[in-house]
Structure 1
Amino acid sequence: MTVLALGLNHGSAPLDLRGRFAVPLDALGERVQGLRQHLARAQPEVAILSTCNRTEVYVGLPALGASACPRHAMELAEPAIEWLAAQGGTAPAELRHHSYLRAGADAARHAFRVAAGLDSMVLGEPQILGQMKAAVREADSAGALGTTLHQMFQRSFAVAKEVRSRTEIGSHAVSLAAAAVRLAQQLFDDLPRRRVLFVGAGDMIDLVATHFAAQKPLQMTVANRSTERGRLLAERLGAAQLPLAELGQVLGQFDIVISCTASSLPLIGLGAVERALKARKRHPMLMLDLAVPRDIEPEVARLPDVYLYTVDDLAQQVQANGERRQAAVAHAEAIVSAGVKSFSQWLDQRASVPLILALQRQTETWRQAELAKARRALARGRDVDAVMDTLATALTRKLMHGALSELHGSAGEAHQQWADSLQRLFLRDTA
């Protein structure tokens, strides 16, 4: 098997294009099965990772070892590219322009770096590891996670754990949630007098809301499609709860609006924000849209009294503040490289399994044939020692015949290679 990683992320594609490929967690299993059926002829293993920063397809396909050539990898990946392009409603050519393709060891390196937070908008952010584990569980539940992808992901989790325990990546990571609070403090120097609305109740909102709660704003409110999940988050934060359907009616009451849902269409439109600003008598609003696809229509950014930031904007704020620690990165990359080397060796060993099985079948055929001859000779009354000597000689000649024929029939560099191989295989103790 070889592994392919095909995807687009914050570095390769703009926010709105990424939004077209985003897959909600509860739809991952269905998408995994759809891709697997599309690639049915190749009998693939499949997993899909989708976050606000990336959508990636991991595919295990038959190939030779860990290092399939780029051309061969592209041929194997072409059906996956076509399928993914269709999911995002775009042309394959556009997807190729904004995506990346990794094969074999490079695909493993990519997965390991993603799990460790080295490929994230915010260096070392811990959320991606949980998101990757959830993606793997969905693929496994869908029956699409075979031995190769299972091995790669388990090793990626181990590498991520080692990176966090042996380097300072984790301790220096500044989450988007912390960046959101810092941005709010820059705009409003009196957060304890501000009202904050959280739209959604998923992991990102949970994290951001926890950071904001530490600043003790005047009021916090949670609006979510699922009333029960919204209620649980509101109770934990000591916040009020708002039905999502009433969002447009009360939007103007809030100074800070933070939204991150799995909606495929914007929940907050230009008209609703214009009405909210009118009700606020043009007092400014900070709006943070952390969703992919967007929850807030991008045209809102043109309004003079609204400060609208996307998840990409927040990442740029984090990087501009110098959170990257190069020494920790170098140490983490070394851990990743060691993990990639180990996985590549495992892949190569698995590629040798058919050859090993064929050799075992061949030698077993020889053994059975020579044993049958020996039993017939013994039945005819031949001397036991003579029969054993004939058996041993025949097996030895069969085992050596192919190698010696290649040695005698070769010349120049090939002859020397065969001589060196035979030396290592049969004369190791005498070298």
Structure 2
Amino acid sequence: MALLAIGISFRTADVSVREKFAFPETNIAPVLKELTNSVQGLTESIILSTCNRTEIYCSIEKTARENLVHWLLRNRQGELEDFNAVNYTYWDLEAARHMMRVTSGLDSQVLGEPQITGQVKDAYDSSRRAETLGPELNLLARHAFHAAKQVRSRTHIGRNPVSVASAAVTTAHQIFSDLATTSALLVGAGETIELVARHLRRAGVRRIAIANRSLKNANSLAAKVADHSMRLSEIGDVLHEYDVVISSTGSPEPVIAKKTVQQARRHRRYRPLFMVDIAVPRDIDPEVATLKDVYLYTIDDLTAVIEENVDSRRESAEQAEEIIVGAVEKYAREQGARTGRELIELFRGSANSVRDAELKKAIDRLDSGSDPGELISRLAHDLTNKLIHSPTLTIRNAASDDRKEILDYIRKSLELD
């Protein structure tokens, strides 16, 4: 079995492609079980799906990669040509390194952002509940979380990072010079929307409302960071009242249609409407971008704002990469030791099976009246032949293939010099 990491991210695919391969945030357990049961040769799996990436980490036979890809395309109704153009594949230690970099925020759109560590932990917990974890991914995840903790504590990479939330508010300043005169409608009730609300408050936005499918969750978040809450179904009636709209839900379909924005635009008498869609799949119909006086930004459009802050953390990133190198080496040593223990257990089990079988034969012969002395001699002879049979074949094959390094290793290991 091999360790595989396969996926797409903001580095390889824009949001229009990423949303096709995004998995739902909730109820991922049946998907994980289907994956593990459907792809022959795959024994463990973790699915990481965020607004910036969709990745599958798994323990799998190398010949089964294409089966995994076809499962993904069937499940997400994607096209092979689209996926082949943007996917990346890492095996074994490179896969381990990739997971550690992702978990530490080194592969994030916002370099060093802490949210990704929590998202990887959530993905790990989902796999644990779905019972698709095993020794390989458990070991990898443990080392990835430890590496992320080391990066966070030993470098300044996470100090004052520009988040997607703050980048959205910074971009709003480009449309409205004074945010204190604006009102904002935030769609969703998750961590990102809460961060957006706090940034808007600090920017002086006079009125903030939260809209969510669950009114209970909207009320709960509004009590902390906003002035008003509503259901998603109410957006069409009040959209024209807001200057800034920022959306981040887990909906598989758009929650704000072009028609809804057209109606709001008329009610606003064509005053500018700033909208940011930071959801994947997208919450706002992309056609909204064609409307005059409506400024629609996606999560990909915020990259320029985020990149301005990256240079100040380059030195910390270099330190973090060194930590990852050490973490991969430590993981490799422990993985090798575990593989060695498993091999020893298999070898002992095989030897014990041979011993038990030969001992049973000897006891049966003894019960039949065979001479004990002859039995002991025969038992020793048969045991010796059975136990050295496989190693003898290995030596013969290595010799016939002129594999001197294998022969030298066997000679040294068995102290035959």
In structure 2, the residue matched to 1:21 is: 21
* 1:423 CA drift (Å): 3.4
* 1:261 CA drift (Å): 0.8
In structure 2, the residue matched to 1:242 is: 230
Confirm whether residue 175 of structure 1 aligns to residue 171 of structure 2. no
* 1:219 CA drift (Å): 0.4
- Unaligned stretches of 5+ in structure 1? 64-72, 383-387
- Unaligned stretches of 5+ in structure 2? none
CA contact (8 A) 1:403 1:422 kept: no
Match of 1:85 among 73, 81, 99: 73
Tell me, what secondary structure is at the counterpart of 1:168? coil
In structure 2, the residue matched to 1:252 is: 240
In structure 2, the residue matched to 1:68 is: none
* 1:342 CA drift (Å): 2.5
* 1:272 CA drift (Å): 1.8
* 1:27 CA drift (Å): 2.5
- Residues 1:403 and 1:426: Cα distance change in structure 2 (over 3 Å): farther
Counterparts of 1:424 and 1:272 in 2: how far apart (Å)? 75
Offset from partner CA, 1:357-379 (integer Å, 9 cap, x none):
34324554787769x99xx9xxx
Q: Aligned runs of 1:142-161 on 2, under 5 Å?
A: 142-161=130-149
Identity of counterpart residues, as a percentage? 36
In structure 2, the residue matched to 1:128 is: 116
* 1:127 CA drift (Å): 0.9
Tell me, what secondary structure is at the counterpart of 1:325? helix
- Residues 1:403 and 1:178: Cα distance change in structure 2 (over 3 Å): same
Q: Aligned runs of 1:214-293 on 2, under 5 Å?
A: 214-293=202-281
* 1:327 CA drift (Å): 1.8
- The answer to which of 84-93 and 174-183 deviates more is 84-93
- After superposing on structure 2, the runs of 4+ consecutive aligned residues of structure 1 that deviate more than 6 Å are 365-370, 391-405
Counterparts of 1:93 and 1:35 in 2: how far apart (Å)? 21
Offset from partner CA, 1:363-418 (integer Å, 9 cap, x none):
54787769x99xx9xxx999xxxxx9xx99999999889879949x9499745753
* 1:199 CA drift (Å): 0.7
- Residues 1:23 and 1:395: Cα distance change in structure 2 (over 3 Å): closer
Counterparts of 2:46 and 2:406 in 1: how far apart (Å)? 42
Offset from partner CA, 1:292-315 (integer Å, 9 cap, x none):
111111122222312211111112
Counterparts of 2:372 and 2:281 in 1: how far apart (Å)? 85
In structure 2, the residue matched to 1:38 is: 38
In structure 2, the residue matched to 1:5 is: 5
Confirm whether residue 140 of structure 1 aligns to residue 139 of structure 2. no
Q: Normalized against structure 2, the TM-score is what?
A: 0.87
What amino acid maps onto 1:81 in structure 2? V
Match of 2:306 among 318, 329, 337: 318
- Residues 1:358 and 1:271: Cα distance change in structure 2 (over 3 Å): closer
Q: Normalized against structure 1, the TM-score is what?
A: 0.84
What amino acid maps onto 1:308 in structure 2? L
In structure 2, the residue matched to 1:426 is: 415
Match of 1:309 among 297, 303, 309: 297
Tell me, what secondary structure is at the counterpart of 1:78? helix
Counterparts of 2:380 and 2:38 in 1: how far apart (Å)? 53
Counterparts of 1:403 and 1:86 in 2: how far apart (Å)? 45
* 1:3 CA drift (Å): 1.5
Counterparts of 2:171 and 2:32 in 1: how far apart (Å)? 38
In structure 2, the residue matched to 1:96 is: 84
What amino acid maps onto 1:20 in structure 2? K
CA contact (8 A) 1:116 1:129 kept: yes
- Residues 1:294 and 1:132: Cα distance change in structure 2 (over 3 Å): same
Counterparts of 1:198 and 1:8 in 2: how far apart (Å)? 28
- The answer to which of 270-279 and 192-201 deviates more is 270-279
- The answer to which of 107-116 and 278-287 deviates more is 278-287
In structure 2, the residue matched to 1:69 is: none
- Residues 1:100 and 1:324: Cα distance change in structure 2 (over 3 Å): farther
Offset from partner CA, 1:193-231 (integer Å, 9 cap, x none):
210110110121112112212223110111111011100
Instruction: Give the root-mean-square deviation of aligned CA atoms.
Output: 3.3
Tell me, what secondary structure is at the counterpart of 1:25? coil
Confirm whether residue 56 of structure 1 aligns to residue 55 of structure 2. yes
In structure 2, the residue matched to 1:385 is: none
How many residues are aligned here?
A: 409
Counterparts of 1:403 and 1:262 in 2: how far apart (Å)? 57
What amino acid maps onto 1:3 in structure 2? L
* 1:291 CA drift (Å): 0.7
